[in-house]
Chain A
Amino acid sequence: QKEVEQDPGPLSVPEGAIVSLNCTYSNSAFQYFMWYRQYSRKGPELLMYTYSSGNKEDGRFTAQVDKSSKYISLFIRDSQPSDSATYLCATRNAGNNRKLIWGLGTSLAVNP
């Protein structure tokens, strides 16, 4: 079983739509959960960073972690063409071994 699974899409939505992006993971030891945005020819840019289960909101973005089902989500409200990018989920254990385990990334296009 792969450690982090993410549907690569592509996902295409009209401007203003609510976008839902999801990942599942297999290792119950994972404690930190991240969403990164990656534009073409750029590095991953941190969007959301959460510890354990729960919700976190930042502007139009909401991250949810459900550790019981090993499911993480990112919601984008009022999506904009500038949100068009690849969204990568990542996770890691707590402690000194800090390697991030990544999903494949979902390609999102927001059409004006």
Chain B
Amino acid sequence: EPEVTQTPSHQVTQMGQEVILRCVPISNHLYFYWYRQILGQKVEFLVSFYNNEISEKSEIFDDQFSVERPDGSNFTLKIRSTKLEDSAMYFCASSDWTDNQPQHFGDGTRLSIL
């Protein structure tokens, strides 16, 4: 069964450094998403991406965050200057373009900011 893959599984970064989290969505999906889950808290929506542009973003997704589809298979989340509070699990998801299709998730990248 097709799946969403994320790399790396764990990223340790010094505060203030830039980090790029990578995702390969399911191949025929056209909507892509990033969510995060801080330990012990709810999963939170960050951003959705369709047709090479941001479709929707949350208040969390400020100027420190950006997303990109650099080629036909990858989808990336960049955090420009990481903060301690960025430590979380980051999940990528994808879905088909039709409204009634569910989102499928990768296993996440655990981001630890020191």
- Residues 55-114 (chain B) with a chain A CB within 8 angstroms: 55-56, 58, 91, 95, 99-100, 102-108
Interface residues on B, range: 20 to 34
The yes or no answer to A46 lying at the interface (CB within 8 A) is yes
- Are the C-beta atoms of B58 and A103 separated by less than 8 Å? no
- Are the C-beta atoms of A102 and B102 separated by less than 8 Å? no
Interface residues on A, range: 20 to 34
Q: Which residue of B lies closest to A95 (CB)?
A: B99
Q: Tell me if B's interface is mostly helix, strand, loop or mixed.
A: strand
A-B contact pairs, 24 of them (CB 8 A): A4-B42, A42-B107, A43-B4, A43-B91, A43-B105, A43-B106, A43-B108, A44-B105, A46-B103, A46-B104, A51-B100, A88-B43, A90-B43, A94-B99, A96-B56, A96-B99, A97-B48, A97-B56, A98-B31, A98-B55, A98-B56, A98-B103, A101-B45, A102-B44
